[in-house]
């Protein structure tokens, strides 16, 4: 086995928007790595909670209101390339996610493959 440096991107999305987000990401990048493309992992169902602060133009709820919404955890990896990462985050995730400030996490890690 060889270790390949990758970015692991994790984003939480409402279930009704999952397929549109996936298609938006794949329209920007085919997520090719290690002889495969379109690799994604989904973990569901779950919930996310948030309370919009005063002055925030929230897509859901009102300032000061605690919301708890269904959520799916979507993960995928790309080889470590900062330009590619920015394109995926901006044109893939942010442009196709329903929330103003989606919960997106990027980890630098290694993927074990032959």
pLDDT tens figures, 7-37: 999 999 999 999 999 999 999 999 987 788 9
Range of the domain at 98: 2-44+73-113
Indicate whether 65 belongs to any domain: no
Number of domains into which the chain is organized: 1
* 68 within domain boundaries: no
Is residue 63 domain-resident?
no
Q: Are 49 and 67 in contact (CB under 8 A)?
A: yes
Residue position matching structure tokens 């799916």:
72
- Output the pTM of the full model: 0.86
> Would residue 109 count as lying in a domain?
yes
Q: Is residue 83 part of a domain?
A: yes
Locate 92 and state its tokens. Answer: 């893939």
Strands (E), 1-114: 2-13, 41-51, 66-79, 104-113
Q: What residues does 8 pair with on adjacent strands? A: 77, 107
Averaged pLDDT, 51-63: 64
């Amino acid at each position: 086995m060889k270790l390949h440096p990758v970015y692991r991107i994790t984003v939480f999305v409402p279930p009704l928007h999952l397929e549109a987000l996936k298609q938006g990401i794949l329209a920007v990048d085919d997520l090719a790595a290690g002889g495969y493309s379109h690799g994604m992992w989904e973990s569901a169902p779950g919930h996310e909670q948030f309370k919009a602060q005063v002055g925030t133009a929230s897509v859901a709820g009102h300032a000061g209101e605690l919301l708890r919404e269904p959520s799916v955890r979507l993960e995928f990896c790309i080889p470590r390339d900062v330009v590619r990462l920015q394109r995926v985050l901006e044109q893939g995730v942010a442009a196709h996610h329903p929330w103003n400030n989606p919960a997106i996490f990027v980890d630098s890690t290694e993927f074990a493959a032959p």
